[in-house]
Chain A
Amino acid sequence: MEAGIPLNWVLALSAVLFSLGALGVLIKRNIIVMFMSIELMLNAANIALVAFSKAHNNLDGQVIVFFTMTLAAAEVAIGLAIIVALFRLRRTVDADKATLLRW
């Protein structure tokens, strides 16, 4: 019996968080909250990466998490700018009311 946290517990947490993020994208209609759910899914993937990095005693996984965070920052900036542009155009953040690919 070892003292550490079992790896599959960490992976289960990652799986549950990812599924909750997917649930948010499926059931929410507010684009901002859908976007937050995507962030949650990215975080779930990061947890799995860190856990495997620790399990294999290999730092590559943590470097990849570092890059994921960088990309998440860029993604959030662009995504929120698109949401602001959409709101200026349509006065709504409801995904169901933004189905036309033109103005």
Chain B
Amino acid sequence: MTLKVLFLLVALGAVVGAIGMLSSPNPVHSALFLVWTLFCVAAVYLLLGAEFLAIVQIIVYAGAIMVLFLFIIMLLNLRRDEFGDDPLPRQWGWGLILSGLLAVILISVAGAALTLRFAGDPLALTPIPELARMLFTKYLLAVEIASLILLIAMVGVVVLAKRPKEGV
């Protein structure tokens, strides 16, 4: 019972953070709201017993990715008139209609999963050694490809962010 209440609180926090991200005109505030939402998602992982992913979520998402976002926002140092955020009323209407429709569809799918129950003890923690074994046996090729992608991304970022040479 307390688990359910806790989950509802965390879910409410995540949704409020997401709405705050969308409604704040300043991108820095948006980024901070998103950090809050990501923390709530980490809490959801914890409640589901995926403690390793919760830690990785906080380190990688809330730590690295959002700091990168804040870095870029501060690097660009936008003036208020450069935010580019004055959504057209029509855009708001259609956006709300379409995403509301999407929400209805997705939630009805979620409702259809009513018969599915968590197998075993829902609070049982994920066996991390088992996770590691899977990563380096069944998913070894995927790990190698992911490392290659990270390398390519690193090189690509350096190339993209480099100032173009004069006269080229």
Contacts and interface: CB of A to CB of B under 8 A. Distances in A.
Contact of A51 (B48, B68, B109): B48
Nearest to A70: B146
Nearest to B19: A20
A5 interface: yes
B60 A77 contact: no
Contacts of A87: 76
Interface in A25-55: 26-33, 35-37, 39-40, 43, 46-47, 50-51, 53-55
B98 to A, nearest CB: 6
Contacts of A92: 82, 84
A8 B113 contact: yes
B7 A40 contact: no
B7 A80 contact: no
Main secondary structure of the interface of B (DSSP, over half): helix
B27 A40 contact: no
B48 A80 contact: no
B66 to A, nearest CB: 9
Contacts of A18: 102, 106
A42 B32 CA distance: 17
A6 B96 CA distance: 28
Interface residues on B, range: 35 or more
B72 A43 contact: no
Contacts of B142: 67
Interface string B124-168: 001100110011001100100010011011101100110100000
Given A20-B15, A26-B98, A70 B149 contact: yes
A14 B65 CA distance: 20
Closest 10 CB pairs of A and B: A94-B84, A4-B122, A15-B106, A11-B110, A26-B95, A19-B103, A74-B153, A23-B99, A27-B95, A81-B160
Given A2-B117, A62-B53, A76-B69, 8 more contacts: A4-B123, A7-B118, A33-B27, A36-B31, A51-B48, A65-B53, A69-B56, A70-B146
30 contacts: A2-B117, A7-B113, A7-B117, A14-B106, A16-B15, A16-B103, A22-B102, A24-B21, A24-B22, A27-B87, A28-B22, A32-B30, A36-B31, A36-B69, A40-B37, A47-B41, A47-B45, A50-B44, A50-B48, A59-B127, A59-B134, A60-B134, A66-B56, A67-B139, A71-B146, A74-B153, A76-B69, A77-B153, A81-B161, A96-B84
